[in-house]
Amino acid sequence: MARLPSAFAEYERFAEKWCLATEAERWQARLNTPMAEIREFYDAFSPRFEEAIDYCDKYPLDDLPEDVLNLLHLIYSMIMVSMAVEIFGTQRPIDSADAELHRIKSPVP
C-alpha cells in the first residue's frame, strides 16, 4: 500500500524510514542512519522538495489526507537531515557532546 501521493511515488522507498510523525523520531533517525543513506535520501528528494511543499499547501493543515500527511513528514525529515548534509557532513552535530532533542510539545501536524 502506497504511503505517499502518486505524484511522489518515486520516494516510496524512503517512506518507511523517513515518514515519521514527531521531531524526536526524525532526530533519532538522523542520528542512527549512516551518512551514505542520509545523503541518498537528500540527493533524491532535493530536486522536488519545493514541489512537495507546494503540493501539501493545497490542503488545510487540520485536514490533510494521510498520504499528504506522510509527504509532509517526509519534508520535515528532509529539513532534519539537510543540516547534516549541507553543514556538518555528519549525522551528529559537531562538538555537541551527547546532543539530544526533548520537546514537551510538538507542532501539529
Task: Please say if the pLDDT value at position 1 is more than 60.
Answer: yes
Rounded average pLDDT over 21-46:
95
Q: Are 33 and 26 in contact (CB under 8 A)?
A: no
Task: Give the number of domains in the chain.
Answer: 1
Task: Please say if the pLDDT value at position 56 is more than 90.
Answer: yes
Residue range of the domain that includes 44 = 13-88
pTM of the model: 0.86
Segment of 21-30, 38-47, 90-99 carrying the highest mean pLDDT: 38-47
**108/21 Cα distance (integer angstroms):** 9
Q: Is residue 4 part of a domain?
A: no
pLDDT at 11: 98
Rounded average pLDDT over 32-40:
97
Residue 101 Ramachandran class (φ > 0 left, ψ -120 to 50 alpha, else beta):
beta
pLDDT at 97: 53
From the list 50, 41, 47, the residue with the least C-alpha distance to 20 is: 41
Q: Is residue 82 part of a domain?
A: yes
Condensed to tens digits (0 to 9), the pLDDT of residues 60-72 reads 999 999 999 999 9
Q: Are 73 and 18 in contact (CB under 8 A)?
A: yes
The residue whose grid cell reads 523517513 is: 18
Q: Is residue 94 part of a domain?
A: no
Q: Is residue 103 part of a domain?
A: no
